[in-house]
Structure 1
Amino acid sequence: MSSSANPADLAVSNSAPSNRQRNEKPEFQGFGTFGGVFTPCTLTILGVIMFRRFGYVVGNSGLMWALVILLCAKIITTLTTFSLSAVATNTKVKGGGAYFLISRSLGAEFGGAIGIVFFLAQAISVAMYVIGFAEVVNELNGSSVKLVALLTNVVVFICVFIGAGWTIKVQYFILATLVASLISFFLGGFDQFQWTQLSENVGPHFLNTLNADGGGKKENLFTMFALFFPAVTGIMAGANMSGDLKNPSRSIPVGTLWSIVTTAIVYAAMAFFIAGCRPAETLVSNFSVIGEISKWPVLITAGVFAATLSSALGSMMGAPRILQALAKDKIFPRLNLFGVGSGATNEPRRAVIVTFIISSLCIVLADLNTIAPLITMAFMITYGTINIATFYEGITKNPSYRPTFRYSHWVTSLLGAIGCITVMLLMNPLWALASAVMMVGIYFFIYRKQVESQFGDLGSGLLFERTRRNLLKLERTMYHPKNWRPIVLAMSGGGSNRLNLSMFGHWLTRGNGILNIGQVISGNAEEHIDRIANQEQLLEKFIVDEELDAFPNIVAAPKLSEGIEYLVQCSGLGALRPNTLLIGWPGDVEKATPLVSTLRTVQKLRRNVVIARLEPTETPKQAPPGTIDVWWRGRKNGELMLLFAHLLKQNPVWRNQPIRLMRVVSSEEAKADVLKHLHGLADESRIEIEAEVFVSDHPHHVIGKQSKDSAVTILGFELPDAGKEDKFFAQIERLIERLPRVLMVSSIGNVKLES
């Protein structure tokens, strides 16, 4: 009894099937490893290059170097398959092949760029393969290459449009034809093999070859490698069918690796017999030498037909599935209509039609000599990117990276990526550069659109790992005032003052520090779980809507003062804990007393304090008119005050507001020395200021008069001792009553202007 038997089915097994059972079509379960991966990969690898160019490679390189070329090519594709298998066994694989795997690792930008490039490469490859088929037909009967190619393309299109199931069945027939042609070759090679001929072809010859116009060129090992390598680039044929596989996480690694091993044995055996059957001169000058060695040459012709048609079918099946997956992810809105599938198997018929149109246009244009190198580069970029994705997954130690395929390591992935880049440069440096430029262009196009992917990628993992290491390094580095940056906790609350305080916090930290926006919910955390979550969402929305560079911080506490102390102690991480508390002026003596007590605790925790009195009715998207006035009373608070003024002015909206550094003295005699001192402070701090000194015995009158039209006034203050809060509140109120906007600073002395 099968373990998958359904008890309900067994209970009625002896009764006649119902009408519903008779009419229901069995649900598509997906293709297996042999039909869905091994067969497409093998048919693509054992392609037209094997029949029409492999003898040329062996004739020039000799058996020994031909085997070295084969080994190097297989090492690169095997390393890439290791990476492909690791990614495929680390996630639930859906349709889209290489695009799906790369986008889920490197993100929408890389995935989208690869998806577009790989789709176009596969679509144009259909044209290349059917033109290759038509050229063989032309050699036999002289028929029109374009006409035969277009008719063949229609046949390929019909097979794929009907469905992948039909196409797989056609590929079984093509595989049988290919196997028959190989048997014919090996039987003929066995009859004609000569050991003396083999010994002559062991070493390289690299003969001068003649072009059609009589010109010649000298081949070398690199040109032979470049000629042969496209023959082994069919490893993605199975992965492209990922959405149609029964168990892609198992089938992709097993089927692809077995295909690589099988085709490597075939190519090595063919090289051995080719070298032992014909002299190098014949191998180089005769592209039909495989057929001549074969016992039944007609089967070689059938094999060429099979190889070209199977490759065309593979590309016609793979390209639409890439486009369909790309459309489903909504990276390019205009492609969304191609995400729709048809039938129980979700066939991408709309995408198949697009692929057919592109391939037909390329056939009509018929000038693929300049396009072919770019197609090969697209394959190599795809392979290289898969290796890079697996490399980054490995080195970032992402906990979610747990592939069941155990033979991949970040070292193998790195070697695979290096191998792909090397092959691109060996084949054609110019086309390699053109391909890279195309990829970069598409990447930044998607990046500028700010596409929000609905799937995770290793970009966040890589960022996390880099951040983690930098945080640890920052934590272990001895503090120096030169490296001081504002890390502000702005207690914005939930009222009308939120935007004002948050915006000033944003201006003080923009491009230089970190802004945390804090809020305290009164009450017990357990009783306000839903409210905390709701307020977090609202605060996050507020940050996004106002385009602030900030992090939300919300706590529940029995009292506001306790909540502030919680946030000051717990916000941030390591060296990135807040060093400055920004809070609003209470405006009420009853609120001032507990606030001052809390601020004393904050300063004992070694945090600077900035109290802001702002106009609640303002919408501070732009800097208010006027100057930035800093009233100097000494270095204790003054250095931080002047630095904050400088940081404000770094914002584009504050750029035209001059900084005035001012002081009140009690005698005229001291004015000149103090003015000189202020200019010295400007030189020392390298901050551009306008220095002014006023003589008066009533500083608060001078400040109120001189700064009543300022954009913001920055003052220093000292927290009062316990029991003197009322007097402190009255003094501050009298000082700031005529000022429109005030930042009152109390520093712990951790800023040095000369740094």
Structure 2
Amino acid sequence: MTTTNSTSADSGAAGTLGTFGGVFTPSILTILGLVLFLRVPYVVGSVGLWQTLLILGLATTVSVLTSISLAVVATNMRVGGGGEYYLISRTLGIEFGGAVGVVLYLAISVSIAFYAIGFAEAIVAALDRDSTLLIQLVAAGLVLLLAAIGFIGADLATRLQYLVMVLLVVALASFFLGVVGDFDAGQFADNFGRPNTDDGREAVGFWEAFAIFFPAVTGFSQGVAMSGDLRTPSKSITEGTFGAVGLSTLIYLAVILLLAGAAPSRTLAEETTTIIGDLSLVAGTMLVGVLAATLSSALASTLGGPRVLQRLGEDRVLPRLELFAAGAGPTKNPRRALGVSVLVALATVAAGDLNAISPIISMFFLASYGIINYATFYEFRAGSTSFRPRFRWGDHRASLAGTIACAGAIIAINPVAGSLAGLVFVGLYGYLRQRDVDDRWIDSAGSYHYTRARHHLRELATEPSAHRDWRPCALAFVPRDPENRRRMLHMASWLEGGAGFLTAVRILEGTGPIQRREAALVERDLQAEVADIVPGSYGRALLVSDAAVGVQALVQSHGLGSVRTNLTVFGAQGLRRVGEDGDFYGRMLQSCARFGANVAVLNVRDDAWDRFVDTPSAERTIALWWSDDQVGQLNTLLAWLCTRHAAWSDATIVVYVPSGGSEEETERVTGLLQAARITAEVVPVDGTPASFSDALSGSTLALAPLRIRRGAAIGPFNTPLGMLLESLPLAVMLLATDEVDLDAEPDESNLAEMAQLSDQAASASRRAAELDAEAARLLVAAEALRLDAKGNPSDAELAAAAKDAQDAAAQAYRAYVDARVRCTALEDRVAALDPGPARTNIDPNVWRSSSERGK
């Protein structure tokens, strides 16, 4: 995949909007929308003042937590166009961000129609008309007018927003000036609690009222969509969003308090669409406020939606979406994307009844806020060294709380609509994952996986090692020949069986800059080859001055933490070498075994590979020559690991037991395999070279023991390995240094015994410490009496007491010594059973002697 940084693309167009015009104004105009004028009185009248304040507090908490997350992410990068989509995609990746971006764009485009219809309904009602067609015509006309404004550019739209803000301020001022004269402290007290519904009114639940009010606070992110048109996006998004949330919360709080003291609860609930106008200084200003609120929200959506689609096109999230990446003028005004948004809005207006899809659209917005919180939490948990936000008030707990709060709001408001929105999102995410879109930037996924790997490696180091859960960490020393290398990689992946790690290694001898460059090129090609043949494995090229020393160093050092090399894989072609080359091959095998790694030699001859390819999957057999030692157990496990690969999933394992006709041995091996839950056919054979050749030569893959004697690799019956492999199919010859226990159960380790002995040792140590303190006390007392008796030789009773005290002190000291001996014995038994690293103190002489040898 191609991975590039996106900052160059983001800097292609210079923004012209500041914090006030680009973020604060569209955000606060959307927050102070229709809910303020038409629904807040209903909420206060239905659930009372204190529950309304609680609703305001909960809703504001969601917006504040999300604003904090926005500020953290926005101040950690150079923000480009696309708003929330840009922030999420650059954090969680293109699949997550793309799914959010598509649904968010559709939600914003549809919301243009919602606000336009709200504007049209207010106009038609003011004209005292009742015509659905007229509402649709007015709404369509407003959409086209807004499209014309957006076509000209964001600067004109921003100036128009200033006019709308003035109208909104006039409407709010008229309300505040008018309602103050109607405020009554007694009425305020009556409305403080939940109203009495005995008068026939339908009771409204808390969460129902919350669902009505919550859309009021969802407009705080409108300014984020203009990120590509801002001069300083990080600064403007942070300051503008917090400013809009803070001021709008104060306005909502003031309106709620004043309404509670101005009219009875029944009047507030039943006259919710007109009460604010009735209480205003000038009644007509309410209509001005409603029109200003709907017009500003529609305008903000008209500007924001196309910019999301433009960024989706630039990122090529969906096929042919790049057509909408083009922009006009120095600010890259997204006119093509605007055309699509207008068509979506007009189609929504023409649809008429919007109640069916409006809850889902609201869920899209709310889900995007939750994902913004999660993206920030993800950044915190990833622990990237590049995560250095300028906003210092963020915390992973606050972001997690924001995520949970958004999810809770979805459940409280409309769980059905939330589920449908979730299904749409999951479907898009799955499609983008399957489409495998090329990476175009560096997101936080790598940092997150690195941190998780670091954590799990540290946890793994504290776990006791278990012979029942042996996992291969394999080094495959691949040859230069590409065909043999490909076959070796396939066979090594079979042995790895999806349970461990596989690294392909090329050893290159040489020194100097030219050789280093060549080694880098070899490693790059090898990594590409490994990724193609065995996805999930790794490739390394090692440049060394001496190949033998390089192999030894690599076997000892490869791995991380407790994940260390335990299987080295070589090709059998090295067996055919003669002279120094042949001796080097044998020494290399022997060195790997001496350093504790199992050694596997693979036979990948042309005819053997052809037989494997030509044999149908269901007819393939894995033949194993049994040996009653750790080689037999590990060979059996490797044979079973092979069956986890698709190439051998239908194969049959056949275990040949050289029992010399002994049924007892055959039954014992059968019982062992059954206890290990490995399905295999056990066949007794004679322990002769001819039986060995006959049994294994007819299989598709053979596994057999390997030994190394005096630098030479030999198989069963002391047959030179090179000669033995000539009669075998694909083969794995194994020299085992690890102990594997196939039929071990979880409680069949020494851990229980070790824990019991540890408890006994701890108890014995405490007892020894108590006896030591008692012996010391008695010894001091005895010494004091002895001195007194020495100073009074004529006092027989004092002398006798001194002698008794000395005897008691000696007896206490012997008891202490006995307890310490028992404690030491228990600690020695624990140390003998402990599979972990030694816990003894470091001996400085070891380091001193090793450093002297290294001089």
Shift of 1:691: 2.6
1:720 counterpart residue number: 709
1:662 matched to 2:656: yes
Distance 1:312 1:334 in 2: 28
2:317 counterpart residue number: 331
Counterpart contact for 1:58–1:271, Cα < 8 Å: yes
- Distance of aligned partners of 1:204 and 1:709 in 2 relative to their CA distance in 1, 3 Å threshold: same
1:62 counterpart residue number: 48
- Further displaced range: 454-463 or 116-125: 454-463
Counterpart contact for 1:671–1:695, Cα < 8 Å: no
Shift of 1:570: 2.6
2:155 counterpart residue number: 165
Other structure's SS at 1:750 match: coil
| Stretches of structure 2 lacking an aligned partner (at least 5 in a row) | 1-12, 745-855
1:676 matched to 2:667: yes
2:275 counterpart residue number: 289
Residues 336-351 of structure 1 mapped to structure 2, 5 A cutoff: 336-351=322-337
Deviation by residue 1:82-113 (Cα, 9 ceiling, x = unmatched): 01100000111001111111111122222111
Shift of 1:529: 2.3
Match of 1:650 among 644, 653, 674: 644
Residues 502-517 of structure 1 mapped to structure 2, 5 A cutoff: 502-517=489-504
- Distance of aligned partners of 1:502 and 1:102 in 2 relative to their CA distance in 1, 3 Å threshold: same
1:176 counterpart residue number: 166
Q: TM-score if structure 1 supplies the norm length?
A: 0.91
1:632 matched to 2:626: yes
Deviation by residue 1:264-283 (Cα, 9 ceiling, x = unmatched): 12112222322232222221
- Further displaced range: 521-530 or 740-749: 521-530
Shift of 1:248: 0.8
1:594 matched to 2:584: yes
2:230 counterpart residue number: 245
- Distance of aligned partners of 1:735 and 1:148 in 2 relative to their CA distance in 1, 3 Å threshold: same
Residues 206-225 of structure 1 mapped to structure 2, 5 A cutoff: 207=197, 217-225=202-210
Distance 2:730 2:413 in 1: 67
Match of 1:267 among 248, 252, 267: 252
Counterpart contact for 1:671–1:694, Cα < 8 Å: no
1:702 counterpart residue number: 691
Distance 2:160 2:198 in 1: 42
1:81 counterpart residue number: 67
1:540 matched to 2:527: yes
- Distance of aligned partners of 1:48 and 1:485 in 2 relative to their CA distance in 1, 3 Å threshold: same
Match of 1:563 among 540, 547, 550: 550
Distance 2:344 2:315 in 1: 22
2:79 counterpart residue number: 93
Look up the equivalent residue of 1:629 and give its one-letter code: A
- Further displaced range: 61-70 or 463-472: 61-70
Counterpart contact for 2:586–2:713, Cα < 8 Å: no
- Distance of aligned partners of 1:346 and 1:134 in 2 relative to their CA distance in 1, 3 Å threshold: same
Residues 123-522 of structure 1 mapped to structure 2, 5 A cutoff: 123-141=109-127, 142=129, 144-205=134-195, 207=197, 217-286=202-271, 287-495=273-481, 496-522=483-509
Shift of 1:723: 8.6
2:91 counterpart residue number: 105
Deviation by residue 1:234-280 (Cα, 9 ceiling, x = unmatched): 11111111111010110111011111111112112222322232222
* Count of aligned pairs: 719
Counterpart contact for 1:503–1:620, Cα < 8 Å: no
Other structure's SS at 1:192 match: coil
- Distance of aligned partners of 1:724 and 1:746 in 2 relative to their CA distance in 1, 3 Å threshold: closer
How much is the aligned-residue C-alpha RMSD, in angstroms?
2.4
Other structure's SS at 2:707 match: coil
- Distance of aligned partners of 1:33 and 1:749 in 2 relative to their CA distance in 1, 3 Å threshold: closer
- Further displaced range: 529-538 or 242-251: 529-538
Structure with more contact order per residue of length (Cα contacts < 8 Å, sep ≥ 6): 1
Distance 1:752 1:726 in 2: 23
- Distance of aligned partners of 1:165 and 1:620 in 2 relative to their CA distance in 1, 3 Å threshold: farther
Counterpart contact for 2:98–2:317, Cα < 8 Å: yes
2:815 counterpart residue number: none
Shift of 1:621: 11
Shift of 1:351: 0.9
Distance 1:154 1:541 in 2: 53
Counterpart contact for 1:209–1:217, Cα < 8 Å: no
2:3 counterpart residue number: none
Shift of 1:726: 14
Distance 1:304 1:431 in 2: 27
Counterpart contact for 1:518–1:554, Cα < 8 Å: yes
Q: What is the aligned-residue identity percentage?
A: 33
Distance 1:199 1:675 in 2: 91
Deviation by residue 1:550-588 (Cα, 9 ceiling, x = unmatched): 111221012332332232123221222220001012112
Look up the equivalent residue of 1:692 and give its one-letter code: V
1:754 counterpart residue number: 743
2:804 counterpart residue number: none
Distance 2:137 2:595 in 1: 84
1:740 matched to 2:713: no
Counterpart contact for 1:499–1:620, Cα < 8 Å: no
- Further displaced range: 655-664 or 246-255: 655-664
Match of 2:538 among 521, 526, 551: 551
- Distance of aligned partners of 1:313 and 1:673 in 2 relative to their CA distance in 1, 3 Å threshold: same
Deviation by residue 1:39-82 (Cα, 9 ceiling, x = unmatched): 00010001111111222122223333323322221121011100
- Further displaced range: 679-688 or 144-153: 679-688
- Further displaced range: 644-653 or 505-514: 644-653
Distance 2:419 2:508 in 1: 57
- Distance of aligned partners of 1:200 and 1:104 in 2 relative to their CA distance in 1, 3 Å threshold: same
Look up the equivalent residue of 1:258 and give its one-letter code: G
Distance 1:470 1:727 in 2: 41
Counterpart contact for 2:714–2:721, Cα < 8 Å: no
- Further displaced range: 482-491 or 461-470: 461-470
- Further displaced range: 417-426 or 36-45: 417-426
Counterpart contact for 1:134–1:146, Cα < 8 Å: yes
Distance 1:635 1:541 in 2: 39
Counterpart contact for 1:488–1:580, Cα < 8 Å: yes
1:13 counterpart residue number: none
- Distance of aligned partners of 1:281 and 1:676 in 2 relative to their CA distance in 1, 3 Å threshold: closer
Deviation by residue 1:139-169 (Cα, 9 ceiling, x = unmatched): 1112611111111111111111111111111
Distance 1:513 1:31 in 2: 54
Distance 1:546 1:209 in 2: 77
Counterpart contact for 2:611–2:700, Cα < 8 Å: no
Other structure's SS at 2:476 match: strand
1:573 counterpart residue number: 560
Distance 2:73 2:698 in 1: 63
- Further displaced range: 242-251 or 200-209: 200-209
1:21 counterpart residue number: none
Shift of 1:640: 1.4
Counterpart contact for 1:622–1:653, Cα < 8 Å: no
Other structure's SS at 1:719 match: strand
Distance 1:398 1:618 in 2: 49
Distance 2:199 2:491 in 1: 75
Deviation by residue 1:713-746 (Cα, 9 ceiling, x = unmatched): 2221221135999999972233222223321110
